[in-house]
Every structure is written in structure tokens, then in C-alpha cells.
Structure 1
Amino acid sequence: MFQDTKLLPPDPILGLSKLYQDDARSEKIDLGVGVYRDLSGATPVMKAVARAEANVMAAQKTKAYTPVDGAPGFGPAILNLVFGEDSPVLSSGRAAAVQTPGGCGALRLAGELLNSQGAESLTLGEPTWPNHIPLLSAAGLKLNSIPYYDRDANAVDFDAFKAGAAKLGPKDVLLVHGCCHNPTGADLSTAQIDEIAAMANAQGFLPLIDTAYHGFAKDLDADVYMIRKFSAALPEVLVTYSCSKNFGLYRERTGALIIIGETADSALAVKSQATSLARRNYSMPPAHGGAIVAEILSNPELTAMWKDELAEMAERVRGNRRLLAKTAQDFGLHNRLSFIAEQAGMFSLMPLNEDQIRIMREDHGVYVVGGGRINLCGVNESNVEHLIRAYKAATEA
């Protein structure tokens, strides 16, 4: 069976982490793997999560299976968080949630659902998170790409993105990042979101909103503007949601597929299709992370604690953006990296070609993912000057 099986190359990001770990230099910087890290470089367990986990474990009496749509209380808690408790979308029953194994599980389930319902294509802005492509193509979808980001201007190329979306019609799907675009950090403005909503309404295409960094751009309400706008303006929307970053539940694999239907009955029907597909795939999601999220969001004290911690984490990332941009100015780069301070989330694309990325890694111990994507969590006051020196040396060589 496996005698001719070929060894695949390592994942580029995980392989970069291994190179960083093996680097003996004391002055080295890891800007690769996409996890939140504090000043010490650790990815901490949030205090609210630790408290909630203790409560869950103290109350737990069984390890029996939980329902296929998730841990009890998880779905309603996520829906209230995303839409707000007074949302007409919720009161009308138009929204339903299925807990999934992380945001990746939500994307794969969304892809299989769309394929089963006759979606003709799924269109992504270029560039996008690299794992979007294998996750969604493996679900059987035909993928197309349209321009999203102008690397020369270091900004969204909205005219090109809109021109690509103008070609979509019924049975087409457009994937959009809800906030904190990965890998560019460049989000659509509210006015641009409104334009895409109007186009979807007129042309009939279905938006799939990937939401992996809720709370890291502006705040919990502002960051779901796209979801709320699309859901109010359109009869159908799909949302994939990850709890990895904003709850720090990376290894617990906690996410959700959120379905917005034209009516409560249609939302329920689509949910039934999604849970049937989930049953054939992973049967039911890991319960632990979902129980933690439900406990946090049902306990006012823990909710307040979590919101404070999340706001602190988000402000640290924003502070790192400002620090990087200011240090670049101080080192004579003028406004070459000023765009980074204006973007959102953990990631940005530094203006680097592949040879310059290699020079930064080999000559200066600065580890950057191919394409120039950097995780701003790896920047701090103790290493930012070394980072800028490395960038200058690589780009001015």
C-alpha cells in the first residue's frame, strides 16, 4: 500500500519555527507562527479561561458525548456575543450555530455544506490565509481568486476587489475576512463593507465571513460590523468563527459555523444539513473548549474579566504596530513602514522579496514567513531596533 509513498516537505511556517529553535544566536526574532504572545514570548492561559475551566471541571460528572451541534450553552453564547442579545436576527430565529473543531473545522464544514448545496465556485481575495485554499478545495469546491491587496500601496485595492466581485452571481460564494485580515492586516472600511453587501444583495452571491480575530481590531462590537451588516441586509450568510485567539483556546480546537437564513425554518434546515455532514466527518466536536466559552459568557464576572484581558491583548498588538512604525521613522526610513500602524490584528506584510527574507533570516536571525508576513506579537521594545536594522540591511543591500 505505502511502498511508493513520498515524504512531503515540512509545513513552511512550522519548518520556520524549527529553524528558529535551532538558531544558537542570542539576538534572534521569531515573527512567524500566528499565535498571540506576551512580552516574554509566552502564549498565556487567560485568567478568565483558567477560572472557567476550574468551574467546568468541578461541575463535570461524566465524559459522555455531547450533542453534535456542540457543548450545551456554547451556540447561544457565541450567537449573543456576535450579534448582541437584542439582535433582530436572533429574536427572529434566523441564526443558528454549530460548534466545530476550531476555525479550520468550521471552514471545512462550510466548504462541504456549500458543495453539497450546489455552490458553483468560491472566490477568495488575493492574498489570503494560505490554509483557506487546501481546506476549501479539499471540500470539493472550485476556487477562484480576485485581487484584494496592493503591495505597492500597502493597502486594500478595493476597486480591483469590487471588480472581481462584480462577476459573481447566484450559486457563487465570496469569502471575506471579518476583521484583522490575515496576512495583510488591511481591512475593508465600513463604507466598503456596505458596498459589498449591496452587491451581494443585487447579484445574489453568498458571503462567507471568516472571523478568527474578533476583538483584536477595534472592539468586540466594531469588529463584527460586517457580520451584522450582511445579516441585516441579506437573506443568507455563513460565518466561520474561531475561539483560538480571543479566548486563547488554540489547542482546545474551539470554533463555530454560524448560519444566517432567510427565515427561522431555513436556518434550521441548513443547520440540519451541517450537523449531518459533521456527523459523517468528526461526529461531534471536542466539548472542553466549548464548555469553557459557555461558562465565561454565562458568568458576568468571568465575562468582564475576559473582556478586560482581551482588550489588553489587543492594545498590546496595536502598541507593537505603533512601536515598529515609529522606530522605522527614527532609523531614517521615513514613512516606509507607517502603514503598519494603521492596520489591524496580528499580521502585516513587510515590503520584502524572498531574497531579502533570506538575508534577514541568515544574516540577522530575523525569521519572517514567505511573502513577508510578520506576526506583530513578536515585536517588542527590546528587539525592535534589531528588527529595523535587519530590514534596512536586507532592503538596502
Structure 2
Amino acid sequence: MKGSLMFAGLTALPPDSLLGVTARFRADPRPDKIDLGVGVFRDRQGRTPVMRAVAEAQARLVATETTKVYLPPESAPGFADAIRALIFGAGFDDSRVAVVQTPGGSGALRVAAELLKRASAQAIVVPAPTWANHEPLLGASGLAIRSIPYYDARTGGVDFAAFYAGAEKLGPGDALLIHGGCHNPSGADLSREEIDAIIDLAAAKKFLPFVDCAYHGFAEGLEADSYIARAMARRLPEFLIAYSCSKNFGLYRERTGAVVMIGADETAARAMTTHAVNAGRQMYSMPPAHGALLVAEVLGDRALEQDWRMELETMRLAIKRSRTMLVEAARAHQLCGRLDHLLNQNGMFSLLPIDEAQVAALRERHALHLVNSGRINLCAVNEDNAERIAEALRDVMRA
């Protein structure tokens, strides 16, 4: 066959470290297998349900929608205003705040990185460890990606002294990525006092905070989780937020997110909006509309919003219970203190104190599938399997 062989030199890439866990889980024929690596919320039955308020909003949309014509690239009607109010609250002077809809939180991260590049940023500095896709996703912008210490594996908490020392070396041209609660992969979050200290340092050193808000509402609740954004808005002239509706609205595959840009004034916010829209236009043209319209409907209806808040809080508390169940089961299996750090963390994820060989042993001997880093999704832990998981951990951790 004659013709171009442009792609003949390409070789297959290794599986994505996170998606590969799912692939191995699906290929495992054992009926008692458990997926502890999944990156979504799961209820006790292992389902990721459509939230009640979202289902009602979708029914309304299907009943009333008459066209699939393009919507404005800046935002589906009502979405940007709803996200702005959700993050910053009622009565906030939002003239400095610009919101542009994106394809999920990942789209928001990528657009924000492009915005930083256009503003002549030099580097994005990420905490170590961080979400596995942060560095490739942000690095695709061409900006340098560096890391500074964040997690203390000995205590299962934040090594704030090391994190602060790393941030002290930053300056103009640097953007510091901060997880806005429910740190992925560790679950170890900054305290309010530590957040305040980083804000003061950003003001003094003139680096730009860049908040990845992927789990709003899952740490301590919606209002408490908004502290970092509201504190920054009061005390800093500029910062960025990458906001995801995947987890807190259960809109994973609808790809619903926003890049939230806070500028020095209204003129700056408007300029940032135009650049974010332009960057999106060059990458994906228009963001998907369906999920954003659902969010706007939920947050624009008092009854739906109240029901959504209640269900989200139920999900948050369920994860807390899963943490407690696993710790108590571990204690009962003579792993005293080995998993206690899980009780002081937030969100779906934590890092188990195990290495890659122990992760492999869990998979091969016990049909427990998780990421090689030892990250576990606590949503997969429930009353039916906590004892079994703890027993398996004892087997590999005491070997």
C-alpha cells in the first residue's frame, strides 16, 4: 500500500496510571474483587447515582428544550452567575470576578495555564504529591512545572514547614497550585491558619495563588470549603480558581467546570475573560452545554438547591463514616495507629502507608485494586467490606 506513513514511527504509550487501575479491575475475573482506585463517588451498593436535584433539573430541561443551537462560549445562561455566587456568597462585590465555563475542571486547569502563559508567567509550582494529571495537563501549556514538598508520610498530614519554605522561594512570575480542600491524593488539607499564612506570603512575595477546587463541599461543607476563595478575595488583588462540578453535582461525563478569574478591578476581569474565551476557542471551541444548564437550573431554584445541598452533605458524611469504619477495622486487626491519620483527612482519597510491591500483593492475593502510589478511594469502603480490606492490609503490611 502506497501513501503517507507519517504515524508509522509512533509507539504505543503505557496505560494512564489512574485509568489503568480500572482496566485491570475490569479484566479481573474474581467475583469478590473490589475497586479501591476509582476516582468517583460510590454509594454502599457501588453505584454513582444521578443526584436527585440534578435528575429533576434534567427532566425539566428535556421537557422544555427546543434547540441544540450553540450557546455563548463564555457561559451557558445562568451558569457563570450561579458558580460565582456559590463560591463567594451573597453580597460579595463581584465586579472583579470573571467566570468562563470550561469542559470540566481539567478544561479549567488547561485554560488557566494558557492564561498564565499569556500573562508572562514563568512557572506553575505544584505540591508534592499532587493529582497525577496535574503536571502533564498544566505542562502542555509550555510553562515550566516545579514542585515543592507538601505531604508528610510519617504523620499523614501536611508538612507545612516544608510547604511554606518552598513557597517562600517563589516570586513574581510564579503561580502556586493549591488544592482547595480534599487534597488528591492524600486527603491532608491546609488549616485556616495555614491558608492565611500562605495568603500573606503571596501578598509579600507577589506570586499568584491558583486554586484547584475539585471537591467543593466534600471537606467540611460548602460554606466552610469556600473559606480559601473568600479569604483570598478579601486580601489579594489577583488569583485563579479551576472549578469542577464533576464530584459535587455528579456530572462526571458531562464535563462541567469553570475557570474563575479574580482581577485587580473590573477592567482586568473583563480582559481575562476575553483571553480565557479565546484560549478555549483555540482548544475546543465551545464547552458542552448540558451539564452547565443543569447546574444553573439547580442553583436557580430554591427547592432544588436545598435538596442538592442536603444530598451533598449526606455524601460527605458517608465518606467520613467510611474513614472511621476502615480505621476501626484496622485497629481490630492489630494495625494499631497505622491508619489513624485517615481520621484527620478530608474527601474521597488517602494514601495508605504501603509501597508498590504491597499494592501488587493486594491485587494478586486479595483482588483489591488501587493505584501504585497507595491512594485509596474511601468511597469504596463500606460495612460489607471494611473488615476484609483491613485483613488484607494486615497481610501485606505485616509480611
TM-score (norm 1): 0.98
CA-CA distance at 1:377 after TM superposition = 0.6
Following the alignment from structure 2 to structure 1, what is the Cα–Cα distance between the partners of residues 177 and 45?
Answer: 35
Per the alignment, in what secondary structure is the counterpart of residue 329 of structure 1? helix
For 1:287 and 1:17, the matched residues in 2 are separated by 28
Among residues 135, 138, 148, which one is paired with 2:137 in the alignment? Answer: 135
Question: 2:3 corresponds to which residue?
Answer: none
Q: Map 1:72-221 onto structure 2 (within 5 A).
A: 72-88=77-93, 90=94, 93-221=95-223
Partner of 1:364: 366
Residue 64 (1) aligns with residue 66 (2)? no
1 CA distance for matches of 2:226 and 2:182? Answer: 11
User: How far apart are 1:112 and its partner, in Å?
Assistant: 0.7
Percent identical pairs in the alignment equals 51
1:283 aligns with 2:285: yes
Q: Distance in 2 between matches of 1:264 and 1:299?
A: 28
1:286-306: CA deviations, max 9, x gaps? 011000000000000100111
Offset of residue 27 of structure 1: 2.5
Q: Does 1:13 align with 2:25?
A: no
- Rounded to whole Å, the distance in 2 between the matches of 1:280 and 1:24 is 44
What's the counterpart of residue 26 of structure 1? 31
CA distance in structure 2 between the partners assigned to 1:149 and 1:2 by the alignment: 41
Matching residue within 324, 327, 330 for 1:328: 330
C-alpha distance in 2 between matches for 1:197 and 1:55: 42
Counterpart of 1:251 in structure 2 is 253
Deviation at 1:224, TM superposition (A): 1.4
Q: CA deviation at 1:20?
A: 1.4
Bigger shift: residues 66-75 or 21-30: 21-30
Residue 71 of structure 1 aligns to a residue in which SS? Answer: coil
Alpha-carbon distance in 2 for matches of 1:333, 1:164: 34
Give, in whole Å, the separation in 1 of the partners of 2:300 and 2:307: 12
Of 278-287 and 105-114, deviating more is: 278-287
Which amino acid is the alignment partner of residue 85 of structure 1? A
173-182 vs 4-13, which moves further: 4-13
Give yes or no for contact 2:35–2:369 (8 Å, CA) kept in 1.
yes
Written as runs of structure 1 = structure 2, the 5 A alignment for 1:268-307 is 268-307=270-309
Q: Which moved more, 1:18-27 or 1:266-275?
A: 18-27
> 2:144 and 2:224 mapped to 1: Cα distance?
32
Given that residues 209 and 238 in structure 1 are in contact (C-alpha distance below 8 angstroms), is that contact kept between their aligned partners in structure 2? yes
User: Where does residue 320 of structure 2 map in the other structure?
Assistant: 318
| Match of residue 388, structure 2, among 386, 389, 394 | 386
CA distance in 1, matches of 2:277, 2:269: 12
2:7 to 2, 9, 12: 2
In 2, Cα distance between the equivalents of 1:213 and 1:360? 28
Off by >3 Å, runs of 4+ in structure 1: none
TM-score, normalised by the number of residues in structure 2: 0.97
Out of 315-324 and 277-286, give the one that drifted further.
Answer: 277-286
Contact 1:321 1:340 in 2 (8 A): yes
Counterpart for residue 234 of structure 1: 236
> Is the partner of 2:98 in helix, strand or coil?
strand
Q: CA deviation at 1:16?
A: 1.6
The Cα shift of 1:22 comes to: 2.2
Aligned residues: 394
Question: Are 1:395 and 2:394 an aligned pair?
Answer: no
Q: Is the 8 A contact 1:179 1:224 kept in 2?
A: no
Give deviations 1:142-161, integer Å, cap 9, x for gaps: 01100000112211000000
Segments of 5+ residues of structure 2 without an aligned counterpart are 1-5
CA distance in 2, matches of 1:269, 1:14: 37
Cross-structure match for 1:40: 45
- Which amino acid is the alignment partner of residue 306 of structure 1? W
User: 1:17 is aligned with what amino acid?
Assistant: T
Q: Distance in 1 between matches of 2:346 and 2:176?
A: 21
Judge conservation of contact 1:329–1:335 (CA < 8 Å) in 2: yes
Is contact 1:213-1:245 (8 Å) kept?
Answer: yes
Instruction: Quote the offset at 1:26 in angstroms.
Output: 2.8
CA distance in 2, matches of 1:62, 1:21: 38
SS in 1 for 2:231: helix
What amino acid does structure 2 have at the position aligned with 1:48?
A
Cα distance in structure 2, aligned partners of 1:283 and 1:368: 36
**1:50 aligned onto 2:52:** no
CA distance in 1, matches of 2:224, 2:349: 19
Amino acid aligned to 1:212: A
